[in-house]
Structure 1
Amino acid sequence: MSIITIADLLNEFVKAEVEILNQQNIKHPTTIGTMYEGLTATVLNKSIFQHLNLKVVRNSFINNCNTEFDVLLVEGKGKEIPYTDRFVYEPEQVIAIIQVKKNLYSKDIEEGYNNFRFLIDYYESKEPEKFVNKLFRDSFRHICQKDISAIESGELTQNERLIFHHLWIDASLPVRIIWGYNGFKSEYNFRDSFYDYLSKNITLDFENKIAGFGPYNFPNQIICGQYSMLKNNGMPFIQPLSKNGWWSFYVTSSYNPTYYFLELIWTRLTYKFEPLPLELFGEDLDMQPAYKYLDCRIKELDGNLGWEYNNILISDEDLKANTEVSQWEPTELDLAQFEIVTELCHKYEIDLETDADLESYVIKNGYSSLDEFVEKLKATGLVYIENGKLMLLTDQCQCIIQNGKFYAAENKSGRLTNWSLKELGKKKNEN
């Protein structure tokens, strides 16, 4: 069963159960909270794999942190709090944290955000697990389209260095989700309310800086009914930096929120418990609809460094119109790009300074210079340059010729193979 099928089934389950819970004539806040926390724990239990020593616990704690978290996905045993059904876990045992809200409105967003805001304080002194390095490396490659070794070679801009730092923290922290079952009636109002909260926490007095609003402080997902806010940190959702340094790190969507929920949890599990079968994600060819919401980049003001945010304004009508799932396609290349990427697949790197034939080859194939060729090839997201050498950004790049065109893509999940087989099937049906 594919991730999309499971997500659809879970979404229908959630809708039916929420309708039942909303009809309960109960006024006691703790009991109301317990009902929705129980539903969330049930959904999470239905989402995880049974052979990994995982456990879903409620109303429990991270060691040395005073916040009681509604639902935790943890590995191994915790320390039981005497005469309760609650536990304390070490930070490295916690895979995901979910804060649960029956209703998600402005005050609930603020409360949920604040519960996660300074979580880093309990992880900074901890030695990260081995999988964190790979998760971080892959996310940095996707976002900055450079390898993490660029931090040592000095080839990162100030903006990229700060993103490097923030992505490392994001990879080290658990998946953080706020799940509200009722709330705003439109995606537009959801976006507007969260931005209003952020705008009240802009630092205007540098003597009294407001901390806790860098990109890594944001939850990986905020759910409000059928709407989601999602972080494009490459774990797994991706949005590379623009040429002027803006990173569209937060998006919104009206697509099935349990699909995004599964993507977040399963992606973390596939890194932590390699080798889980990547077939879990199905063909991985559907591109779910989402709209850009918040851009960020580092900015210096009066000698102070901070994050500058740009709120992407989109009308209610346009948000409601974006509901179609699109199909993923590999990167289309011209002949010269295809030949060079194919060569990189075989020899890993090309020295741009010592390869005497490269410039004449690309000029013969229509480029005005080697610089123009390299910049256009870098724009594909398949390659990067470090110490004058052209190298692949992928782990298992493959090149194919299909329908008379040249393509290349990362294929470690089998995505390119699935796309190619699908295209062959279309051609066969046409004939």
Structure 2
Amino acid sequence: MRLALLGGGGFRVPLVYGALLGDRAEGRVTEVVLYDVDAGRLAAVARVLADQAAGVPDAPAVRVTTDLDEALRGADFVFSAIRVGGLAGRAADERIALAEGVLGQETVGAGGIAYGLRTVPVAVEIARRTARLAPDAWVINFTNPAGLVTEAMAAVLGDRVIGICDSPVGLGRRVARVLGADPGSAFADYAGLNHLGWLRGLRVGGRDVLPGLLADPALLGSFEEGRLFGPEWLRSLGAIPNEYLHYYYFNRETVAAYRSAERTRGAFLHEQQDRFYAAMGRPGGAPALETWDRTRAEREATYMAHNREASGAGERDAADLEESGGYERVALALMRAVARDERATLILNVRNRGTLPSLDDEAVVEVPCLVDANGAHPVSVSPLTGHAAALVGAVKAVEREVLAAAESGDRERAVSAFALHPLVDSVTVARRLVDAYTAAHPGLAYLRR
């Protein structure tokens, strides 16, 4: 089975390959084609993968290409993990937003809108070429903003594109662990959009054990989300939010922490990865896998550091660092379920199909799905209510403005996307953001007055 990995020069690709190396079952991936626009980054990642494969019998063969069509032809699965504009673009997104006093995170608020506006046209073109060159392939979308990009690609590929994220998996795992339950057998009643969802229940043997956690302040304060949001707020919500909701519930504190920081997350990663790729490009350079693993450990330890600083949450748990990543395991489980009809229940980004009554059928939502040879099928969950339903509706309306702007090139639809977002809420600021982002990113030149 052949896997095409778009964005194959990306830093987290070895996580995916490591998961593939551990799959020894019949029907596994035997060939990986890495595609990227940057040949130097491809060569660097190929070095790391070669070190990973050393001594592993029948390791999946790896080849690299800068030709998208070549990568897609003959693919059974396509992983889309592109970053339009690179980390330099992410750093610019953050800097421009913070200059206006609003959040610039890559998937949330102004930064997420800017990233979506320049990514959607590229993702749609990938979907069209996949439909033409690999019509039977399943596309698994890693590209952020994952829900928005998946919805854009679904307009071309329908249900053959599925979005994944490791945040809900990590949340469910942490809650199950603190309650002494097996994460693999517990059912998470989770719903929302990508990076905007809530765990409302955790069923173990048919019994919801989440109320017991919410009633115990000591337990609530013993894991990542409890420290991040505070036990009192979690009890008020009656649910455990996805960690990215910290940007909403503690927006002022987080923006203040970002603005006072020496550098933003994007700037840190840009600098860090530049060092890594430079080291990989030097003749007789550093040992590839060891250098990558050391760089990855630093990256994971500093994840959401500004949020933890703003909330006083402290350092990440050692268990979370040891189990970092996660999206590659979700992707492997998804591939197994589809390719071998090994049924699995996974939290995925798929078309709504009536799962959340407040949204239309075509809206991509993040909910538990039953996955089999026919794809991912959302399962019934309790409906979103109150502020959660309102917030999801507001953010989905923003996503639809982004999609409309990307399709039409209408600059005013882009302004609307920024202005309507709860973390921007100013038409004046929205216009200045569109001006600044179009000046910074050549990929937004398609927006016209």
Larger Rg: 1
Could you say which structure has the higher strand fraction? 1
Class of the TM-score when normalised by the shorter of the 2 chains: under 0.3
Bigger RCO (CA 8 Å, 6+ sep)? 2
What is the TM-score with the length of structure 1 in the denominator?
0.23
Could you say which structure has the higher helix fraction? 2
